[in-house]
Structure 1
Amino acid sequence: MLKWLNTLFSKTKTDDTIDYTKPEVHEHQKNNKKCMSNKFLIVGLGNIGAEYVNTRHNIGFKIVDFFAKKEAINFETVKLGALAQYKYKGRTFFLLKPNTYMNLSGKAVKYWMDKENIPLENILIITDDLNLSFGKIRIKPKGSDGGHNGLKSIHATLNTTDYTRFRFGISDEFKKGKQVDYVLGDWDDTEKIALPERLELAYEIIKSFGTAGLESTMTTFNGK
């Protein structure tokens, strides 16, 4: 009888030591923690090679190059691209130029997302857009690929269109059947004069995206 009572009280004492005050972590709470990441992946889309450096299609490369030069940071050759890191107000910006060529851009984006554990909402894809007049800015949290091969690759690889894209207008001032030549062509003299101011604006957009957030950045910069 005494042995039975000791066993009973021993079990009760063990149960009393369980920490019932520890909060249960629900899936949405895990996701919220993930959303609070201070890492951002800024991807400038373009093609590698000297022949593409100053083409309209490479505006993504040109923008992140401008950012890096302004902040005196350097790109290093890494797996699937060139990468530069910039720290600002507790955030870390990873500037990426994929070396996969445009139509395989998604491969580099996915690799660096996973490697640095960067959530989808902290990704900014910078690309040219024929449907916008030269230098016009449009920032959207999701959308179609608009026929852009780089975005098509990202959509297919990430299996979603819910990522932020920063579209830079290159206009559609080309003759019928000359779209490829136009997109892969150099900026004209008027555009070259206007580009520095547009690049400065793009620089501010990247910083705003990482510090002020998407909504504020869209309100401040869309249509400029």
Structure 2
Amino acid sequence: MMSWLVVGLGNPGPQYANTRHNIGFLTVDELARRAGERFSASRGMHAETASTRIGPQGIGGPAPEKLVLAKPRTFMNESGRAVRKLSDFLDIEPDHIIVVHDELDLDPGRLRIKLGGGDNGHNGLKSIRAHLGTGDFYRVRLGIGRPQGHRAGADYVLGRFSKAEREELAIEVDDGAEAVISLINAGLGPTQNRFNN
């Protein structure tokens, strides 16, 4: 059985915790919580990882496929270094990599699942495509919406969720985790039908 690598994108460090750009981290945290696993620093991998198993019964426990969850310890624009190291070390092909990330072009609470495509100005995706030499990996895109008025995109993505957004956030993170599980167990088409709202 081929292993799966699920990478949540974000920036390391407490000053970036709970910022919009870190919704990928929050989603893999939820997957680790469901599996009853904790993240630990992986030596030489530029990432924190947690390993579990996944199958039709869900995540954790005895199941057919190995699942490695990862949070790069590089900054967002260097995410590809961690993804390449992990994929080489674990011998995982791009078609078994799922990247969970924030998406400005989707309203908060909305998500889209796709395989391949460009980076749409997302520095994390750009770095991963450069380091893997391909864009043919799965993406779970979690909507954070665009900033109001003239606020710069960089300031917005590094800003913390508002109180109203935080209420929706738990649902979106939960849906993102479910989408990852569905992608592995049911495949792309059924997962898109279920989640591409």
Q: TM-score, normalised by structure 2?
A: 0.91
* Correspondence for 2:22 among 53, 58, 61: 58
Tell me the equivalent position of 1:94.
Answer: 68
Kindly provide the amino acid, as one letter, of the partner of residue 42 in structure 1.
V
Larger Rg: 1 or 2? Answer: 1
> Per-residue CA shift, 1:95-143, capped at 9, x if unaligned?
0000011011111111111111112111101110111000211111111
Following superposition of structure 1 onto structure 2, how do residues 13-32 of structure 1 map, counting pairs within 5 Å? none
Counterpart in 2 of 1:17? none
Query: What aligned pairs does 1:68-217 form with structure 2 within 5 A after superposition?
Result: 68-78=32-42, 79-89=45-55, 90-217=64-191
Report % sequence identity: 40
C-alpha distance in structure 1 between counterparts of 2:146 and 2:123, whole Å: 17
Q: How far has the Cα of 1:177 moved from its partner? A: 4.2
Does the CA contact (< 8 Å) of 2:109 and 2:171 recur in 1?
A: no
* Alpha-carbon distance, 1:191 to partner: 0.9
Structure with bigger helix share is 1
Structure 1 stretches of 5 or more lacking a match? 1-36
Q: Structure 1 residue 152: deviation in Å?
A: 0.7
State the distance in 1 between where 2:149 and 2:116 align.
Answer: 30
Counterpart AA for 1:154: I
- Report the structure, 1 or 2, having the larger strand content: 2
| Structure 1 vs Structure 2 CA RMSD | 1.2
- What count of residue pairs does the alignment treat as equivalent? 187
Q: Which runs of 5+ in 2 are unaligned?
A: 56-63
**Match of residue 59 from structure 2:** none
Deviates more, 1:123-132 or 1:194-203: 194-203
Q: Counterparts of 2:123 and 2:165 in 1: how far apart (Å)?
A: 24
CA deviations on 1:158-211 (whole Å, 9 max, x unpaired) are 111111111100000333242222110000111111112222211211111111
Provide closer, same or farther for how the CA distance between residues 55 and 117 of structure 1 changes in structure 2, counting only shifts above 3 A.
Answer: same
> TM-score normalized by structure 1?
0.80
- Opposite residue 100 of structure 2, the aligned amino acid is I
Instruction: Pick 1 or 2: higher relative contact order, CA cutoff 8 A, min separation 6.
Output: 2
The reply to whether residue 38 of structure 1 matches residue 2 of structure 2 is: yes
SS at match of 1:66: helix
Greater mean alpha carbon deviation, residues 198-207 or residues 174-183: 174-183
Runs of 4+ residues deviating >4 angstroms: none
